[in-house]
Structure 1
Amino acid sequence: MNRPRRDHPLVLLCYFGPVLVLAMLTMHPLWIGVLFGAGCLVSGTLSGWHALAKRLPGLVLFGLGVALLNPLISHNGVTPLLFFRGNPITLEALVYGGVLGLLLSALLLWGGIYSRLVDGEKILWLLGSILPQEALLLSVAMRYLPALQRRYHQLHRLYATMGLYRQDTFLHRLKGSFQLLSVLLGSALEDAVQTAYAMRARGYGRGRRTRMSLYRMGVREWCQLGIILLLTCCAGCLLGLGAMQVQFYPRIAFHMSIRELGAAAVYGLLLLLPALEEGGVWIRWHCWKPQRSALPMQAQQSRH
């Protein structure tokens, strides 16, 4: 389900801001687990489950690496499991490293969701009225990075076909890399000059600057914004009342009461809003679409 989305940039800003801020307020294992699980669901719904399956092992290995590295650096805690070169490997440091690795993996996952939903056009809309020149520069840079990557792969395949990397020596590959980089920079400068000529031909820099907006705040957008603000306030109030309190050093101590479960449910609902919206679109498309007329095959062929 990789259809282009036309989400309003203001709604996305008000969504990703509370999501990331609330993720940093506590290190409760339930809270971080909800963040990671909801990130997997949203990423699979938006970008496809096959892409998530390819990315998930790397995130898991990264989290395990952080979990195993933390006890080697930090030796706090009162529950030693074993000793490595005279230093204790404590249970508290291992658990804290696991939670920290899960948090970092979840943030990387949500970074991919952010790049899927927020593109250069939305950033230009958000910053256009405040910093128009900087927003335009950032939008152009974000547009050129994927273009340069595609051009690099094309030139690499072309030079490999011409036999540039035929001799497997370090100096030959270094020479070919510098030649490829020179051609790539030349093509990038040529594209930049053409873009500047096109902007000048369209009247950029002459007269009073105007804005064109493709986004409008309708009833749907206001409802989304209200739901986001309501869930954010509920989650913030529960955290302010003492929910999701956790302690790792010197002993592990955290609670799993109704208050923690309620805060996790509210935060999970906030995180799952894009997946719920995408699921609603899927249900409307597959269940409420008008059925085709049941004409016989011969009649359909005769009409064609």
Structure 2
Amino acid sequence: MWAVTGMFQKNSPDAFSSYHPVILFLYFCVVLFFTMFFLHPVLLAISFCSVFLYSVQLNGRKAIRFNIFCMLPVTVIVSLINPLFSHAGVTILFYLNENPVTLESIAFGIVSGGAFITVIIAFSCFNKILTSDKLMYLFGRLIPVLSLMFSMTLRFVPRYKAQIKKIANAQLCIGMDASHGNLLQRVKNGIQILSILITWALENAIETADSMKARGFGLKGRTSFSVFSWKRRDKTLLATEAALLFALLLGLGLGKFESVYFPAIRIAWPEGKSAAFYLAYALFCLLPIIVNRRENIVWNKLKSPD
């Protein structure tokens, strides 16, 4: 397990996140689309392994601990709960309290749990590399209000977490934090801290909105500065994504990714020429890993003496 961490932990900063925001957004859209809407076991395994490795590359051992000790139990719970409530399927394994437990419901529970944790891990990577400035660049001209709200939401947790620490420390200095007094007094102090945080949040939101309005945000014909520009490497990677996406859509149209669980399990497994479509999906999902490994190889060559 730690060998996987060591494979990524000491490398240079994430190179994939330095590419154009359109490329990053397209990558996550495709991965999330195939993960959520096509519960094919092979596709799901590819998606999970890819986003798992990328999350480890971004967050190191912390990601491994979170994925194993938090996400894995979720998969087990979903897999066990689904057969208790869903009794559809033709392959009855046994009866539990006079209710049939079917193979199809167990299989569907396993893939549903896998898809759930894969989406969560993918969104953690999404939140890490698609920062607020990139989202503003992508949607600022099309839907400026929504892009501003989305950008503010992404920074909600870390910023408000830091602010509540400041408020708690200030209240601690005057003996009115949540650790002083009896139980009733602690509850009152906690509510007071929360009230101060909400007041600050509302005031901060109004100030942000007034500031953006004063700068002409959302006006028709408004120009804006952007640090993002299309480079040769961006165009190359975008062309690669487009070619792989075309192959995936072709495979989808030919029914190579079919997966049906009710009333009976019917899955199109990779065999013969159809394996090429699964390979295309694997290459697409592993693009961040491939890009980062390539950048690391080039960087190490530049550092090495002639």
TM-score normalised according to structure 2 size? 0.83
Aligned partner of 2:124 in structure 1 is 112
Structure 1 residue matching 2:18: 3-state secondary structure:
coil
| Residue identity opposite 2:186 in structure 1 | R
Equivalent in 47, 52, 70 of residue 35 of structure 1: 47
Change (3 A) 1:24 1:259: farther
Q: Which amino acid counterpart does residue 215 of structure 2 have in structure 1?
A: Y
Residue 124 of structure 1 pairs with residue 136 of structure 2: yes
Change (3 A) 1:222 1:256: closer
The separation in 2 between residues aligned to 1:115 and 1:122, in whole angstroms, is 11
Larger radius of gyration: 1
**Whole-angstrom distance in 2 between the partners of 1:153 and 1:55:** 27
Report matched runs for 1:135-146 at 5 Å.
Answer: 135-146=147-158
Give the conservation status (yes or no) of the 8 Å contact 1:82–1:90.
yes
From 200, 204, 209, the equivalent of 2:215 is 204
Q: What is the DSSP-based 3-state SS (H/G/I as helix, E as strand, rest coil) of the residue aligned with 1:89?
A: strand
Query: Which residue does the alignment assign to 2:226?
Result: 213
Question: 1: distance between equivalents of 2:62 and 2:283?
Answer: 24
Q: Identity of counterpart residues, as a percentage?
A: 27
**CA drift at 1:160:** 5.2
Q: CA deviation digits over 1:119-138, x for unaligned, max 9?
A: 11011101122233443344
- Counterpart check, 1:173 vs 2:186: yes
Matching residue of 2:7: none
How big is the alpha-carbon RMSD for the aligned residues of Structure 1 and Structure 2? 2.7
In structure 1, what is the Cα distance between the partners aligned to 2:120 and 2:209?
Answer: 35
> How many residues matched?
289
- Alpha-carbon distance in 2 for matches of 1:197, 1:91: 58
Q: 1:139 to 1:29 in 2, by over 3 A?
A: closer
Which has the higher mean CA deviation after the structures are superposed, 262-271 or 15-24?
15-24
Deviation at 1:83, TM superposition (A): 1.7
Q: 2:159 aligns to what?
A: 147
**Which blocks of at least 5 consecutive residues in structure 1 are unaligned?**
293-304
Q: Secondary structure at the match of 1:249?
A: coil
1:272 deviates by 0.7
Q: Is 1:3 equivalent to 2:13 in the alignment?
A: yes
Give deviations 1:134-185, integer Å, cap 9, x for gaps: 433443443454211111133335545736323352x223211211012223
Equivalent-residue separation in structure 2 for 1:174 and 1:278 (angstroms): 49
Structure 1 residues 194 and 95 mapped into 2: Cα distance closer, same or farther (>3 Å)?
closer
**What's the TM-score, normalizing by structure 1?**
0.84
1:51 alignment counterpart: 63
Measured at CA, do residues 128 and 90 of structure 1 come closer, stay the same or move farther in structure 2, by a change above 3 Å? same
Give the distance between the partners of 2:260 and 2:144, measured in 1 at CA.
46
The farther-off stretch of 277-286 and 229-238 is: 277-286
| Aligned counterpart, 1:266 | 280
